[in-house]
Amino acid sequence: MRSVRIATYNVHRAIGADGRTDPARVLAVLREIDADVYALQEVEAHDDGADMLAWLGHELGYQAVPGTTLKRRDGHYGNGVLTRCPVNDKRITDLSWRGREPRGAIAVDVDCSGARLRVVATHLGLRPAERRDQVQRLLHLFNEHPHERSVLLGDLNEWFLWGRPLRRLHRHFRATPSPATFPARAPFLALDRIWTHPRAMLRGLAVHRSPLARAASDHLPLVATLEL
CATH number where 69 lies: 3.60.10.10
Condensed to tens digits (0 to 9), the pLDDT of residues 98-110 reads 888 889 999 999 9
pLDDT-derived band at 29 (thresholds 50, 70, 90) equals very high
Judged against a pLDDT cut of 80, whether residue 52 lies above it is answered with: yes
By C-alpha distance, which of 75, 170, 175, 182 is closest to 123?
A: 182
pLDDT-derived band at 73 (thresholds 50, 70, 90) equals low
More confident residue, 142 or 72: 142
Judged against a pLDDT cut of 80, whether residue 48 lies above it is answered with: no
CA angle (196 as vertex; 86, 62 as ends), nearest 5 = 25
Residue 108: Cβ within 10 Å count: 24
Q: What is the mean pLDDT of residues 65-89?
A: 87
Count of structural domains, the chain: 1
pLDDT at 2: 84
Instruction: Please tell me the least confidently modeled range out of 14-23, 25-34, 158-167.
Output: 158-167
Q: What is the mean pLDDT of residues 139-157?
A: 90
pLDDT at 147: 77
pTM of the entire predicted model: 0.95
Condensed to tens digits (0 to 9), the pLDDT of residues 168-194 reads 998 999 989 999 999 999 999 999 999
pLDDT-derived band at 49 (thresholds 50, 70, 90) equals low
What separation in angstroms does the CA of 41 have from each of 111, 112, 164, 167, 181? 23, 23, 23, 23, 14
Describe the crossing of helices 128-143 and 164-173 by its angle, rounded to 10 degrees. 20
The range of the structural domain enclosing residue 44 comes to 3-227
Q: What is the mean pLDDT of residues 75-83?
A: 88
Q: What's the CA gap between 164 and 191, in Å, rounded? A: 15
- The neighbouring-strand residues paired with 10 are 41
Q: What is the mean pLDDT of residues 79-86?
A: 97
pLDDT > 70 in the chain, percent: 95
